[in-house]
Copies of this chain bind each other. A is one copy, B any other.
């Protein structure tokens, strides 16, 4: 008798119907400080920020935050900023998603505080960031027009550098980029039932 395998089905999900009924944003992210003391930098940053507004899980594949979009972006930005060293080349790879039909109302914090937990501590933190990102509106026929409108706003803001193969290249201060992605997220929530975005930020790249 062969062993019965446990296959995935993603529930009784159907496009256009988020699996979670609550307004949960998920961010999977990974910091990679290219220095011998990477553990100290990553663990120090994870400990320094205030995660009281998000659900968190860290393992060898990085960290997951789940909660309100504003709180999730605030927590990831805090982690990035607290890991930043002026002399260390570092990447932050993050995958944000919302409305996945396979998601569930589990593993989340939805804070009722108006203000994200780390906003105050971050307001004077500034450093330049290079960024590549891709937006994936799922289950929509008109997704390329939606993406173009969103990218064009980065041109208005002066953050757009170029259209690369398979993604868009931006450059700006860390606050400008996170503010833009907050705006992008709002646009996507208004227009797409399920979407994901992949954002890679780079600091202190050697010339």
Binding site for B on A (CB under 8 A): 5-10, 13-15, 26, 28, 30, 32-36, 38-39, 57, 60-62, 64, 66, 89, 91, 93, 95, 97, 100-103, 107, 130, 132, 134, 136-144, 147-148, 151-152, 155-156, 163-167, 169, 196, 198, 200, 202, 205-207
5 pairs, CB–CB < 8 Å, chain A vs chain B: A30-B93, A64-B165, A93-B93, A134-B196, A166-B196
Indicate if the CB atoms of A28 and B132 lie closer than 8 Å. yes
Instruction: Pick from B33, B136, B142: contact of A15, CB below 8 A.
Output: B142
Indicate if the CB atoms of A61 and B147 lie closer than 8 Å. no
- This chain: how many copies in the complex? 2
Q: Using known A-B contacts A34-B32, A152-B8, determine if residue A60 contacts B143 with beta carbons closer than 8 Å.
A: no
Instruction: List residues of chain B with CB within 8 A of the CB of A132.
Output: 28, 61-62
Given contacts A60-B130, A93-B200, 7 further A-B contacts (CB under 8 A): A6-B155, A30-B200, A60-B205, A60-B207, A97-B166, A103-B166, A107-B165
Instruction: List residues of chain B with CB within 8 A of the CB of A143.
Output: 15, 138-139
Instruction: List residues of chain B with CB within 8 A of the CB of A166.
Output: 26, 28, 64, 95, 97, 100, 103, 196
Instruction: Pick from B8, B134, B142: contact of A155, CB below 8 A.
Output: B8
